[in-house]
Structure 1
Amino acid sequence: MERFGDWILTLAAAGVMIWWVWRRFNRWLHEPPGAKLRRLAVAGGVDRDETVELIENYGYQVLSGKHRIPLGVAIDDGPTQATRLYFDYLAAKDDKYYLVKLDRARQPLEWTASGLRERLLVYALLFPDCEGILVVDSRDGLVKTVRFKVEDDE
C-alpha cells in the first residue's frame, strides 16, 4: 500500500463492511416477535386434505405445511452430524401462531406430562413466539392444544 489511492480503497471497503454489519445487527435487534414464524408461513404451501379441513373446523387457519428444520449435533470435539426436526403445519387463530404435529399410529404420543415434554418441548423452545402446539388426531377427529409453562420451584 504505497499509494494514497490504496489507503482510500481500504478505508472505503472497511467502512462498507462496518456499515453492513451494523445494519444487519440493527435489523436483527428490532425484528418484531413472530417474524421467524411469519417467514415460515409464507415459505410453505398447503396441500388441501382431510387433516387441514379438520384443523380449519376447529377455527384455525392453516398457513403452511411440512416444515423441516436442519440441526447439527456435535459430541465433544467431534464432527458435526446433520439431523433434522419436522413439524407438519403452521396454523393461526386470533393473530396467534400454533405449530401442528400429527399424532401418528406408528409413533403414538404418550399423553402424560413427561411424554409430552419429551416429544414436544423442543418445538416450544425453538419457537417461543408460538402460543402452543396443536396435536391433531385424524383417526378420532380431535385437535388438542399443548402449552408449556415454566413454574417456580416453591
Structure 2
Amino acid sequence: MDSVGDWVIMLVAAIVMGWWIVRRLDRWLHEPPDARLRKLATKGGVEEDEYVLLLKEHGFQVLSGKHRIPLGVAVDNGSVMPTRLYFDYLAEKDNKYYLVKLDRPRQPMEWTASALRERLLVYALLFPDCHGIVIVLPQGRQIKTVRFKVEAGEK
C-alpha cells in the first residue's frame, strides 16, 4: 500500500464500517423492550380453532401460533445436542403479551408451585417482556394465567 489511493480507499472503508457499527449499536440500544415479541408475533400464522375461539372469548387477541424455539445442550464440553421448546400461541390482552400453552391430556398440568416452576419458568426467563403464561384447559373451557415473581431472599 504505497500509493495515496490505497490509503484513501482504506480510510473510506474504515469510516463506512465505523458508521455501520455505531448505527447498529444505536438501533439496538433504542429498541423497545417488547420488540422481540413483536417480531415473533409476525412469524406464525393463526388457524381459527376451538382454542383460539376460547382465547377470544376471554378477551385475548391471538397474534401467532405454533412456535418452536431451537436450543442446544452440551454436557461437559461434549457435542451440542439439539432440542426445542414449544409454545402454542402468542396472545395480547390490554397491550400486554402472553405466551399460551395448551394443557394436553398426555402431559396434564400439575398446579403446585414447584411443578409450575419446573415446567414454565423457562418461558418466563426466555421472554421476560411477557406479562404471563396463559394455560388453556380445554376440558373445562377454562383459562389460567401463571406469573412468576422473585421473592426477597431469606435471612
Q: Same fold (TM over 0.5)?
A: yes
Is 1:145 aligned to 2:145, yes or no? yes
Q: What is residue 19 of structure 2 aligned with on the other side? A: 19
Question: What RMSD over aligned residues (CA atoms) do the two structures have, in Å?
Answer: 1.1
| Structure 1 runs, 4 residues or longer, greater than 3 Å off | none
Residue matched to 1:122: 122
Classify the secondary structure of the residue corresponding to 1:22.
helix
Q: 1:104 Cα shift?
A: 0.6
Partner of 2:88: 88
Secondary structure in 2 matching 1:123: helix
Distance 2:77 2:10 in 1: 37
CA distance in 1, matches of 2:5, 2:74: 46
1:140 Cα shift? 1.6
| Shift in alpha-carbon separation, 1:140–1:71, aligned structure 2, 3 A | same
- For residues 54-77 of structure 1, what are the alpha-carbon distances to aligned partners after superposition, in whole Å with 9 as ceiling and x for unaligned? 111111111110111111222232
Which structure 2 residues correspond to residues 99-110 of structure 1 after superposition, within 5 A? Answer: 99-110=99-110
Aligned residues: 154
Q: Deviations over 1:74-124 (max 9, x none)?
A: 223223222211110000110000000011111111110000000100000
Q: How does 1:15-54 map to 2 (within 5 A)?
A: 15-54=15-54
2:54 and 2:88 map into 1 onto residues whose CA distance is 14
Helix, strand or coil for the counterpart of 1:43?
A: coil
Residue segments in structure 1 that go unaligned for 5+ positions in a row: none
Q: Aligned equivalents of 1:71 and 1:54: distance in 2?
A: 30
Identity fraction in percent: 68
Q: TM-score, normalised by structure 1?
A: 0.95
Pairwise CA distance, 1:139: 1.6
Partner secondary structure for residue 42 of structure 2:
helix
Question: Matched residues in 2 for 1:68 and 1:14: separation?
Answer: 39
Gaps of 5+ in 2: none
Q: Give distance in 1, aligned partners of 2:17 and 2:70.
A: 29
Q: Distance in 1 between matches of 2:144 and 2:30?
A: 33
**Aligned letter for 1:146?**
V
